[in-house]
Chains A and B, each alone.
Chain A
Amino acid sequence: MSHAATVHSLWTTAAVSPPDKIPTPHIEYGQLAPTLIVLGAAIVGVLIEALLPRRHRYAAQLFVSVVALAAAFAAVLGLAAGDYGTSKARIAAMGAIAVDGPALFLEGTILLVALVAVFTFAERRLDPAAHGNRVDSFAAQAAAVPGGDAEKAAVKAGFTTTEVFPLLLFAVGGMLIFPAANDLLTLFVALEVFSLPLYVLCALARRHRMLSQEAAVKYFLLGAFSSAFLLFGIALLYGYAGTVTYGGIADVVDGTVREVTPALAGTMGNDALLLIGGAMVLMGLLFKIGAVPFHMWTPDVYQGAPTPVTGFMAAATKVAAFGALLRLLYVVLPGLRWDWRPVMWGVAIVTMLGGAIVAVTQTDVKRLLAYSSIAHAGFILAGVIAMTPDGISSVLFYLAAYSFVTLGAFSVVTLVRDAGGEATHLSKWAGLGRRSPLVAAVFAIFLLAFAGIPLTSGFAGKFAVFKAAADGGAGPLVVIGVISSAIAAFFYIRVIVLMFFSEPRTEGPSVAVPSPLTSAAIAIGVAVTIVLGVAPQYFLDLAGQAGVFVR
C-alpha cells in the first residue's frame, strides 16, 4: 500500500477539493469604452450591410462611422479628463489592456485620423459619375473579376462597396488595442484585427484594380510572414518567462520576479530564448512600422491601394505600431536595452538614410510618399531610442503631427486626376501651381512639413525627437538625421519645383473639385500642420503628460 502510494504520488495527487469555478472576468467597461464603441459600431455596420436596402447603406454607414468615431474620441477625452492618463492609469481587462497616458494619447490620435479618413473614404464627387451614379474610390463589387461582365453589371447597377466603413472601423478597433495591449497575446490578436481589414481594403480600388489586388496580395503575404515572426517570438518569450503579460516578462528580464517556480528557474537563465524571442517580436513590429530592412511592402502597397486607404494606413498604422513598439521596449524590455539599443541604432540609421536616398529616384507621387514615410519612421525611431520620458513624449508628438500631414497629402493626391483616374506620375504634376495655385500651395505646405521647414508641424516634431535623442546620448543619430533630412528635402523640393516652375502640359491632369468631405480633410490637415508648427506648446504639454507607461 505504502509502496504503491509512493509510486502513484509521482504522477498523481490526491484530489483535495473540487476545482474552483472559472471566475468571471472583471471588465472595466468604462475604461475600455473607446475600443468597445468602435468595435460595436463596426458590428452595427455589418448588420446594416445585411439588412438595409442598398440605396440607404451609404448614408447609414457614414452616419454610424462618424458618430462612433466621434463618440469614441469623446470617451478618450473623458478618460483623459478623469486622470486615467496620469494618476489613475491602470491595467484593465484582467491584465490585457493598459489604460495610461501613451495609450490614451495614441487612441485619441488614431480616432481623429480615422475620423478624417472616413471623410476621404466617403468622397463621391471626384470620379466621374458612372451610369448616372456617383461613385467613390472603391470597386463596385469586390468579388467581381476586374474588367469582367459581373463588374460591368455591378457598375451599371450602381453598386458601391459600402463595406469599407465597417472594415475601417474594425481596423480602427484593432489599432486602438494594439498600443494599449498589455500582454503579448492581446498584442497579436490586435495586430490581426487591424491587419486583416487593411488587406481587404487595399484590394478594393475602383481604378487600376489589378495593381490594387497585387498590392493586397503582397501586403497580405508579407504581413502574414511578419505575423508568424511575431507569434514565434511570443512563443519563445513565453518559453523564457512563463508568462505573456508585459509586467511578468519584465520582472523576469530584470530578475525581480517574486516567486521562482522550478519551471521558471530552468528557463529564465536561457538568454537565447529571450534574445531570439525579443528580436522576433521586434521584427514583427518593425514590419508594421515600415523600417528598413522590413520596408519592402511599403511602396507597392502605398501605390496600389486606393488613395484614401493609403492615407489612412500610412497615418494610423504607423501611430498604432509605434505605440506598440514603445510599450514593448519601454515596459517589457528596458532591462535588455544594452542589447537592443545598438540594433535599433542600426535600424534607425539605415531607415533614415535608406528611405531618403531611394525616394530621390521615385517618379510616382504615392511611391515617393511611401519612401518618405520610411525615412520618417527612421526619425521617429531616433526618438524611440532615447529611452527617456522625453523620448516617449517626443515620439507621441511626432506621430500626431506626422499623421495629419500624411493624411492631408494623400487627400490632395486624390484630387489630381486625368482620364485614367488619379494622375500619380510626377511628370503629370508639372505646372500644377499655374493651373490650381491653391491645391499646389496646400500640397507644398505638406511637403515643407515633411521636409521639416520651421513653422510647420514637421519641424516641431523633428526638433522634439532630435532633442530627445541627443539628450538620451544618441548625438550621432541626430547628425545622421539631419543629413537624411537634407537628402529628403531634395525630393520634396523637386516636387515643388515641378508644380510651380514647370510649364503646364497641355494634356495634363485637371484638379477635381471635391465635395466638402475631402475639403474638410485637407483643411484639417493644413490647420493641424500650421498650429502644431507655430504654437506646439499645448500639444507638447499633452504629450509630456502622457509620457508615462503603466506597468
Chain B
Amino acid sequence: MSFPLLTVTAAVPALGAVATAAVPAAKRAAAKWVALGFSLATLVLAAIVLVSFDPDGAHFQLTESHPWIKDFGVRYELGVDGIAVALIALTALLIPFIILAGWHDADPLEEASPNRRWRPTQGFFALILMVEAMVVISFEATDVFLFYIFFEAMLIPMYFLIGGFGDRAGGRSEEESATQRSYAAVKFLLYNLAGGLIMLAAVVGLYVVTADDLGTGTFSLQQITDARAAGTLDFATSTERLLFLGFFFAFAVKAPLWPLHTWLPNAMGEATSPVAVLITAVVDKVGTFAMLRFCLQLFPEASKWATPVIMVLALISIIYGALLAIGQRDIKRLIAYASISHFGFIILGIFAMTTQGQGGATLYMVNHGISTAALMLVAGFLITRRGSRLIADYGGVQKVAPVLAGTFLIGGLATLSLPGLAPFISEFLVLVGTFSRYPALGIIATVGIVLAALYVLVLYQRTMTGPVKAEVRGMPDLKVRELVVVAPLIALLIFLGVYPKPLTDIVNPAVDHTLSVVDKKDPKPDHPVTDAGWFSYSPMHDRASGGAK
C-alpha cells in the first residue's frame, strides 16, 4: 500500500484543529503558532501533492480506495485531477495568510475573562483549520457521498466562524453588531443547508438509480462514469434532469449564483476579513469545483440541457453583482458583490463547454482566490485602523499610508482583471471560450469588465485619494505581519499574470477529460489563431484544435 498522501493532507489540518483547540486558556499566543505551524505543514503537503501529480498521467491520481459504509454503497475514495490539485494548492496557500491576517481578530476584549473555559482564540484558529481540512477532503473525494458529507459538515465550523467572531469594526454598538452577525450566520447556514438537503434527496436518488441498474448502489464517480460509458448504467432523461437540478441547486447556493446569492454579502460583511476571504476564496470554490466534477461528469446530458438557463443566470450574476458593487457604501459588501460578479464568470466559463472556457474558469477559481484575498485582507487592515467599513469615512489614505494604498490598488487592479495580473488571463479565456460558442453572451459578459473597472477605481478614488480626512490622519502604514501577508499574494498575482503556464499545464488535461465525458467538442474557429501570444496560450490552443478525440 502506498503512502496515503491525500488522506494525510486532509488529516494534518484536522489534527491541527484538535491541537489548537487543546491549547490551555492562558496560552492564547501559543494557539496561534500551533495553528500557523499546522497550516504551513499542510502547505508543504499540498506542495508534495502538486509535485507528485503528473499532468499527463491518469485522470485521477494518488487514489485511495477503502470500503466505508457498505450498506450505503459508500467508499472512502480519494483522487485528484489537475483541477483538484490546483484548488488544494490554493487552499493550502491561503490558509496561512488567513491565519496571519487574523492574528488578533479573536483576542478577547478584556484580559480577565469570567470563564476560564471560554477560549475564543483557540476556537477561532481551530475552526479555520477544521474548515481547511473539510475543504481539502471535498476537493479530493471521488465518492459522491463522501464529498457530500464534508460539503455539508463544512457549514458548521463556517457558521461558528461567521457568527462567533464577527467584525468588531462596524461602527455600531456591540449589541447591534451581534444581532447583525447572528443574522448573517443563520442566513448563511439556512441557505446552504437548504441547498445541501435538496442535494441529499438527489444523492439518495442517485443511489436508487445506480442500485437499479448495477445491482448494488454506488457513489463512486469513476464507477458511474465507466458504467455510463459502457452502457450498463442508463439514466432516464427526466431522472437525470431531476438529479442534476438537485446537485446543481446546492452548488449554485454555495458558489453563489444569482438569485441564490443573497447570503454572501451578509456573511462577508459581518465576518472578519480573514473569514470573509475564507468564505469567498476557499469555501465557495467547492461549489464551482463540484459543478465541474460532479454536475458535468455525472449528468452530462442534463448539463447540456440546462446550459442555456445557467448561462443566462451566470450572465445576470456578472452584471447584477457588478452593478450592486458600484452602489455599495460598505467596503466589504462591495467586495462581496464583486465576488458574485466573478463567480458569474466562473460559471459562465464552466458551462460554455469549451476548453478555453473551462480551463479559464478553473484558472479563474485560483486567481480569484488570490486576488480577492489580497484585496479583502488589505481592506481588513484598513478597516481595523479606522474602525469603520463605510467608504465615506475614508479619504486621502494614500498620503498617510502609501504602502497600504499601493497594495490595495494592486489587489483592486487584479480584481478588475488588469492585463499583467493573473485574473486577466482567466477572464480573457472565459470570454473567448464563451464567445466561440455563444457570441452574444460573450459580448454582454464583457460589459462586466467595464463595470468592474468602475467599482474598483471609484472605491480607490474615494478611500485613498483626495484630501486627508481628520480621522485618517496619523493612520499607521502596514506593519511587518501585514506585509508578510500581502507581499507574497501580490508577487503571486504578478507571477501568474506573466507566466501562467505551470498552472495551465496542470489544469488543461483535467478539463479535456471533463469535456470528453460531456462529449462536447470545441467549435472550429473561423480564423485559426496562429500567434501563440505572450502568455503561452498555445498548449490550450493545440488541444482545442488538434486534440478532438
Residues from chain A with Cβ under 8 Å of B201 in the complex: 466, 478-479, 481-482
A436 CA to B155 CA, complexed, in Å? 23
Quick check: B175 and A453 within 8 Å, CB to CB?
Answer: no
Question: Chain B interface mostly helix, strand, loop or mixed?
Answer: helix
Question: Chain A interface mostly helix, strand, loop or mixed?
Answer: helix
Closest-by-CB residue of A relative to B189 is A493
Quick check: B163 and A501 within 8 Å, CB to CB?
Answer: yes
Cβ of A437 within 8 Å of any chain B Cβ, yes or no, is yes
Cβ of B148 within 8 Å of any chain A Cβ, yes or no, is yes
- Distance between B110 CB and nearest chain A CB, rounded to angstroms: 13
Closest-by-CB residue of A relative to B198 is A482
Quick check: B197 and A497 within 8 Å, CB to CB?
Answer: no
Quick check: A437 and B152 within 8 Å, CB to CB?
Answer: no
Cβ of B438 within 8 Å of any chain A Cβ, yes or no, is no
B429-470 vs A, Cβ < 8 Å mask (1 yes, 0 no): 000000000000000000000000000000000000000000
A489 CA to B163 CA, complexed, in Å? 16
Quick check: A536 and B69 within 8 Å, CB to CB?
Answer: yes
Cβ of B524 within 8 Å of any chain A Cβ, yes or no, is no
Contact pick for B175, options A460, A503, A541, CB 8 Å: A503
Quick check: B208 and A470 within 8 Å, CB to CB?
Answer: yes
Closest-by-CB residue of B relative to A481 is B201
Cβ of B185 within 8 Å of any chain A Cβ, yes or no, is yes
- Distance between B107 CB and nearest chain A CB, rounded to angstroms: 16
Quick check: A537 and B197 within 8 Å, CB to CB?
Answer: no
Residues from chain B with Cβ under 8 Å of A536 in the complex: 69, 71
Cβ of A523 within 8 Å of any chain B Cβ, yes or no, is no
Quick check: A437 and B117 within 8 Å, CB to CB?
Answer: yes
Residues from 468 to 500 in A contacting B, C-beta threshold 8 Å:
470-471, 475, 478-479, 481-483, 485-486, 489-490, 493-494, 497, 500
Residues from chain B with Cβ under 8 Å of A452 in the complex: 197
Residues from chain A with Cβ under 8 Å of B200 in the complex: 462-463, 466, 482, 485
Name which of B71, B149, B208 has the most chain A CB atoms within 10 A of its CB.
B71
Cβ of B11 within 8 Å of any chain A Cβ, yes or no, is no
Residues from chain A with Cβ under 8 Å of B68 in the complex: 537
A220 CA to B148 CA, complexed, in Å? 45
Quick check: B148 and A470 within 8 Å, CB to CB?
Answer: no
Cβ of A455 within 8 Å of any chain B Cβ, yes or no, is yes
A460 CA to B175 CA, complexed, in Å? 38
A415 CA to B60 CA, complexed, in Å? 51
Given A486-B197, A497-B182, A503-B178, CB of A434 within 8 Å of CB of B69: no
Quick check: B182 and A436 within 8 Å, CB to CB?
Answer: no
Closest-by-CB residue of A relative to B68 is A537
Cβ of A435 within 8 Å of any chain B Cβ, yes or no, is yes
Residues from 54 to 95 in A contacting B, C-beta threshold 8 Å:
none
Residues from chain A with Cβ under 8 Å of B163 in the complex: 497, 500-501
Quick check: B115 and A486 within 8 Å, CB to CB?
Answer: no
Cβ of A376 within 8 Å of any chain B Cβ, yes or no, is no
Quick check: B205 and A470 within 8 Å, CB to CB?
Answer: yes
Cβ of A540 within 8 Å of any chain B Cβ, yes or no, is yes
Name which of A436, A459, A478, A493 has the most chain B CB atoms within 10 A of its CB.
A493
Quick check: B164 and A501 within 8 Å, CB to CB?
Answer: yes
Quick check: A454 and B152 within 8 Å, CB to CB?
Answer: yes
Residues from 186 to 234 in B contacting A, C-beta threshold 8 Å:
186, 189-190, 193-194, 197-198, 200-201, 203-205, 207-208, 211, 217
Cβ of B72 within 8 Å of any chain A Cβ, yes or no, is yes
Quick check: B117 and A497 within 8 Å, CB to CB?
Answer: no
Cβ of A448 within 8 Å of any chain B Cβ, yes or no, is yes
Cβ of A544 within 8 Å of any chain B Cβ, yes or no, is yes
Residues from chain A with Cβ under 8 Å of B204 in the complex: 463, 466-467, 470, 478
A379 CA to B129 CA, complexed, in Å? 34
A512-551 vs B, Cβ < 8 Å mask (1 yes, 0 no): 0000000000000000000000001100110010000000
Residues from chain B with Cβ under 8 Å of A482 in the complex: 197-198, 200-201
A466 CA to B148 CA, complexed, in Å? 15
Residues from chain A with Cβ under 8 Å of B119 in the complex: 437
Residues from chain A with Cβ under 8 Å of B152 in the complex: 453-454, 459
Quick check: A453 and B208 within 8 Å, CB to CB?
Answer: no
Given A503-B175, A536-B69, CB of A454 within 8 Å of CB of B153: yes
A481 CA to B153 CA, complexed, in Å? 19
Number of interface residues of A (CB under 8 A): 42
Cβ of A464 within 8 Å of any chain B Cβ, yes or no, is yes
Cβ of A427 within 8 Å of any chain B Cβ, yes or no, is no
A478 CA to B202 CA, complexed, in Å? 9
- Distance between B106 CB and nearest chain A CB, rounded to angstroms: 14
A471 CA to B190 CA, complexed, in Å? 28
Cβ of B535 within 8 Å of any chain A Cβ, yes or no, is no
B156-177 vs A, Cβ < 8 Å mask (1 yes, 0 no): 1001100110000000000100
Closest-by-CB residue of B relative to A435 is B115
Residues from chain A with Cβ under 8 Å of B235 in the complex: none
Cβ of A243 within 8 Å of any chain B Cβ, yes or no, is no
Quick check: A453 and B185 within 8 Å, CB to CB?
Answer: no
A455 CA to B155 CA, complexed, in Å? 12
Residues from 228 to 280 in A contacting B, C-beta threshold 8 Å:
none
Quick check: B193 and A434 within 8 Å, CB to CB?
Answer: no
Name which of B153, B155, B175, B200 has the most chain A CB atoms within 10 A of its CB.
B200
A448 CA to B72 CA, complexed, in Å? 21
Cβ of B549 within 8 Å of any chain A Cβ, yes or no, is no
Cβ of B342 within 8 Å of any chain A Cβ, yes or no, is no
Residues from 366 to 395 in A contacting B, C-beta threshold 8 Å:
none
Cβ of A296 within 8 Å of any chain B Cβ, yes or no, is no
- Distance between B283 CB and nearest chain A CB, rounded to angstroms: 16
Contact pick for B117, options A436, A462, A540, CB 8 Å: A436
A482 CA to B250 CA, complexed, in Å? 13
Quick check: B118 and A434 within 8 Å, CB to CB?
Answer: yes
Name which of A470, A481, A485 has the most chain B CB atoms within 10 A of its CB.
A470
- Distance between A72 CB and nearest chain B CB, rounded to angstroms: 28
- Distance between B30 CB and nearest chain A CB, rounded to angstroms: 19
- Distance between B36 CB and nearest chain A CB, rounded to angstroms: 24
Cβ of B150 within 8 Å of any chain A Cβ, yes or no, is yes
Given A454-B150, A464-B72, A479-B201, CB of A471 within 8 Å of CB of B211: yes
Residues from chain B with Cβ under 8 Å of A493 in the complex: 159, 186, 189-190, 193
- Distance between A540 CB and nearest chain B CB, rounded to angstroms: 4
A453 CA to B193 CA, complexed, in Å? 9
Quick check: B182 and A502 within 8 Å, CB to CB?
Answer: yes
Residues from chain B with Cβ under 8 Å of A466 in the complex: 200-201, 204
Quick check: B149 and A437 within 8 Å, CB to CB?
Answer: no
Cβ of B70 within 8 Å of any chain A Cβ, yes or no, is yes
Cβ of A150 within 8 Å of any chain B Cβ, yes or no, is no
Closest-by-CB residue of A relative to B200 is A482
Cβ of A52 within 8 Å of any chain B Cβ, yes or no, is no
Cβ of B181 within 8 Å of any chain A Cβ, yes or no, is yes
Quick check: B69 and A448 within 8 Å, CB to CB?
Answer: no
Given A486-B193, A501-B163, CB of A540 within 8 Å of CB of B207: no
- Distance between A544 CB and nearest chain B CB, rounded to angstroms: 6
A541 CA to B186 CA, complexed, in Å? 37
Residues from chain A with Cβ under 8 Å of B194 in the complex: 486
Residues from chain A with Cβ under 8 Å of B203 in the complex: 463
Cβ of A145 within 8 Å of any chain B Cβ, yes or no, is no
7 A-B pairs with the lowest CB-CB distances in the bound complex, closest first: A454-B149, A540-B71, A482-B197, A501-B182, A486-B194, A482-B201, A470-B208
Sampled A-B contacts (15; CB under 8 Å): A453-B153, A455-B149, A455-B153, A459-B149, A460-B69, A470-B207, A470-B208, A471-B207, A482-B200, A489-B189, A493-B193, A501-B178, A536-B69, A540-B72, A544-B71
13 other contacts beyond A471-B211, A502-B178, with CB at 8 A cut-off?
A438-B117, A453-B152, A454-B148, A454-B149, A459-B149, A467-B204, A475-B205, A478-B205, A482-B198, A482-B201, A486-B193, A493-B159, A501-B164
Binding site for A on B (CB under 8 A): 68-72, 115, 117-119, 148-150, 152-153, 155-156, 159-160, 163-164, 175, 178, 181-182, 185-186, 189-190, 193-194, 197-198, 200-201, 203-205, 207-208, 211, 217
Binding site for B on A (CB under 8 A): 434-438, 448, 451-455, 459-460, 462-464, 466-467, 470-471, 475, 478-479, 481-483, 485-486, 489-490, 493-494, 497, 500-503, 536-537, 540-541, 544
